[in-house]
């Protein structure tokens, strides 16, 4: 992966208001913020192995999953936010990556970094939208 590689994240329909990802979503740790069960790892797709549309299609292979589209951030954007890194682990499938939030020390800082990722993704616009 390079600094320009996009990392794709699926967006649940409940996270949308007026065709954008709601800012209120981050109060409940969604979209670009890991939940406690994620152990600080936010799952994303490697843009070198999946297009935004392919990541959407792959994600929906699991009948328990729902998405209205894909938002993406680049590896360099993740790095610029600070205290975050992107890791390609290819688990549980080839092309799986995660954004590592374990370097973030407080919930407030985690929320701010998540919001910054959300802003960067929304500036880019939907990389795939149904």
**For the chain, what is the domain count?**
1
pLDDT given for residue 18 in this prediction: 67
User: Quick check: 15 pLDDT over 90?
Assistant: no
User: Quick check: 22 pLDDT over 90?
Assistant: no
Residues 83-108: tens digit of each pLDDT: 999 999 999 999 999 999 999 999 89
Mean pLDDT of 68-87: 95
1 occurs within a structural domain: no
Q: pTM for the complete prediction? A: 0.89
Three-class SS state of 79: helix
Q: Classify residue 34 as left (phi > 0), alpha (psi -120 to 50) or beta.
A: beta
Q: ω before 92 within 30° of 0 (cis)?
A: yes
109 occurs within a structural domain: yes
CA angle 40, 41, 43 (to 5 degrees): 150
pLDDT bucket at 33, cuts 50 / 70 / 90:
confident
105 occurs within a structural domain: yes
| Domain residue limits at 49 | 6-129
């Amino acid at each position: 992966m390079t600094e320009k590689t996009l990392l794709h994240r699926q967006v649940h329909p409940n996270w949308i208001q007026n065709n954008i990802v709601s800012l209120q979503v981050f109060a409940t740790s969604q979209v670009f913020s890991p939940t406690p069960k994620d152990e600080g790892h936010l799952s994303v797709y490697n843009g070198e192995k999946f297009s935004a549309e392919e990541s959407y299609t792959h994600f929906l292979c699991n009948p328990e999953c729902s998405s209205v589209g894909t938002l993406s951030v680049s590896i360099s954007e993740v790095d610029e936010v600070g205290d975050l890194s992107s890791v390609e682990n290819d688990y549980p499938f080839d092309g799986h990556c995660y954004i590592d939030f374990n370097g973030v020390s407080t919930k407030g800082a985690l929320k701010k970094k998540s919001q910054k990722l959300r802003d960067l993704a929304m500036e880019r616009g939907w990389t795939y939208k149904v």
